[in-house]
Structure 1
Amino acid sequence: MAYELDPRFSHHMIDLDEVRLHYVRGGDGPPLVLLHGWGSTWYMWRKVISQLADHFTVIVPDLRGLGDSGVPEKPLTGYDKKTVAQDIHQLVEKLELGPVHVAGHDHGAAVAYAYAATHRDEVRSLVFCEMALKGVAGDKGIEYFMDQRDELRLWHLSFHAASRVAEMLISGKEREYLRWFYRMQMYNLDGITDEDIDVYARSYSGPGGLRLELYRAFYQDGIDNAELSKTKLTIPVLALGGANSIRDLCVSSMEAVADNVRGVVVPNCGHWLPEERPAEFLESVQSFLKEVPA
């Protein structure tokens, strides 16, 4: 069955200083911004936004250059997480939302941290899901995450970061590559269906649609995060990891940069947590947000 967007939500486009962003908005209450990672678009949050909209004004953008953002001209640069976070900050300012809760998955989690660390008085809480923050992970620093051993399932980081090679090899086979990419990191294989893969493939198959510059920015992200982490976050932070993915690395990343961290490792879950285990995701996030001071 084709996905139908909750009628409380609607699609929008907005012009910012450097980019044009697509976002979905719905619900009522304190603002909550949801940020996707690579391989995803706003669509990754489809299983949780209706429940969140019962209590929050939910803003779900496509990051610069991904999904429907930047169409038809997708920017070639600006994929370090501080710059992407500035896009989201401009979006929030233009929508006059005030202090926000920010949640991110994968690269979107790194963007969410950069947002919280560069606009400290404008973020009420941070949800950091299925990402290890580059530059601050102690003995599991950037070199660890570029390790190509099969048992770590992280060789794709180096492949994606190689200049233009990945695009050359994936071009024309985006759907096949994405299907493998999801399955490689998934515990619950029904979390992303063939119909869902069709949705993602349409976004990632267009000219410039892969936007692997997000990976090529990792070393700059590490430098930026090391500097930002010199002053720890004081806002409440929830760190979520899948037990069959990076587990508690989310927690250790956040404990390195924040004082008030709650960690949850979700059982029987791979990388795609909001899609594989939406009920568990909602339970953790909603109980966390209820305790954030108004």
Structure 2
Amino acid sequence: MSSPVNQQTLEWMAEREKSGSRHVVTVGEHQVVWRQFGSGSPLVLIHGGHGSWLHWARNIEALSKDFSLWIPNLAGYGDSSDPRFDDFPTMVDVTAECLTQLFGTGSSFDLAGFSFGGLVSANVAAKGLPVRRLALLGPGGHGGPRRERGKLINWKRAETEEALIEAMRFNLWAHMIYADEQIDPFAMGIHTYSCIHTRFRSRGISGRGLLGPALDDYSGETMIIWGEHDITCTPEYLMTHMIEGHSGRQGVILPDVGHWVNYEASEPVNALLKNWFKEGRVGL
């Protein structure tokens, strides 16, 4: 089977690599690859499970005009080394140590995480790192009910390239993206590349209620962005259990989009993140 990642995505990756820099941070037995784009105050973007730095593909150009973006492939993802662990606390520790090596112990930075990366980000912030502001996009670990759109297809069993592409397309529709027209070749390429380069199992971790305790331990301001049709939880549950009654937390529900809000609704998400991290303001 030839490479299942389409040429458009491969060319975009090659061009983007030329515009940034690549850094390898060693933590014990792990080599974690980070990509840096733009200049300004540091903003860290952490991808989701079955993901990679490409989860932020539609955000890099806009945000790098105002921030110095630091985007990892977490340990066990993308071109970072295989994980020598299968537990969540070690994932958090490795990520936190990377940030300490990159920024030191006294320099503050902003932090945003998508899906499983939102859960990682909240727990990194809870460890007392100098996170100035936190933004979570469709975060995992909320402990709330899912609303399945369709049963995911095991793409690893695909015997032909056509079957693999169809499985990836269906899974994007079932889990990640609400609007059919947003399941474009670029989204397909990102999802395919990210899935086939994932070696860490995050799904069981994201299903546990690990987000609330982490946010309770983080003393800074938090914004949570949620898609109206996110299948991983209802907006009502999120607002009731994660936002209401918690000072310093604000929630935004984006209409007509699904789980992967930073792709499907990239323009409003970029505006929200800029306003949040530059001014501490929620709104477009």
**Could you tell me how far 1:106 is from its partner in structure 2?**
0.6
Q: 1:68, 1:203 within 8 Å by CA — same for their partners in 2?
A: no
Structure 1: which 5+ residue stretches go unaligned?
146-151, 161-165
The alpha-carbon deviation at position 248 of structure 1 amounts to 4.6
Question: Which of residues 131, 135, 138 is equivalent to 1:127?
Answer: 135
- Work out the CA distance in 2 between the residues paired with 1:23 and 1:11: 6
1:56 maps to which of 67, 72, 80: 67
Counterpart pick for 1:242 among 197, 203, 227: 227
In structure 2, distance between residues paired with 1:225 and 1:242: 18
CA contact (8 A) 1:128 1:250 kept: no
Q: Which runs of 5+ in 2 are unaligned?
A: 1-7
For residue 38 of structure 1, the aligned residue among 49, 54, 68 is: 49
1:110 aligns with 2:110: no
Q: Please say if 1:75 is aligned against 2:83.
A: yes
Q: In structure 2, give the amino acid aligned to 1:205.
A: I
TM-score (norm 2): 0.79
Letter matched to residue 183 of structure 1: W
Give the structure 1 partner of residue 274 of structure 2.
286
More divergent stretch after superposition (61-70 vs 83-92): 83-92
The one of 158, 162, 178 equivalent to 2:168 is 178
| Cα contact 1:132–1:250 (8 A) shared by 2 | no
User: Which of 166, 185, 204 is the equivalent residue of 1:194?
Assistant: 185
Q: Name whichever of 52-61 and 16-25 sits farther off.
A: 16-25
Query: Which residue of the other structure, out of 257, 260, 271, is the alignment partner of 2:259?
Result: 271
Q: Distance in 1 between matches of 2:109 and 2:245?
A: 19
Query: Aligned Cα RMSD in Å?
Result: 3.0
- 1:131-210 residue pairs with structure 2 within 5 A? 131-135=139-143, 140=144, 144-145=145-146, 152-153=147-148, 169=157, 175-185=165-175, 186-205=177-196, 209-210=198-199
- The aligned counterpart of 1:163 is none
Q: What's the TM-score once normalised by structure 1's chain length? A: 0.76
Q: 1:248 to 1:39 in 2, by over 3 A?
A: farther
What is the match of residue 26 of structure 1?
A: 37
Letter paired with 2:141:
L
Is 1:260 equivalent to 2:248 in the alignment? Answer: yes
Partner of 2:219, secondary structure, is strand
Matches within 5 A, 1:204-223: 204-205=195-196, 209-211=198-200, 213-218=201-206, 221-222=208-209
What SS does the corresponding residue of 2:248 show, helix, strand or coil? strand
Note if 1:93 corresponds to 2:100. Answer: yes
Equivalent position of 1:14 in the other structure:
25
What letter is aligned with 1:56?
F
CA contact (8 A) 1:127 1:237 kept: yes
Q: What is the deviation of 1:60?
A: 0.6
Amino acid at match of 1:93: T
Contact persistence 1:251–1:261 (CA under 8 A): no
SS of the aligned residue for 1:125 comes to strand
C-alpha displacement of 1:192: 4.3
Distance, in Å, in 2 between the alignment partners of 1:257 and 1:8 is 43
Q: Could you report, residue by residue, the CA deviation over 1:23-43 in whole angstroms, capped at 9, with x for unpaired residues?
A: 210111221110111232101
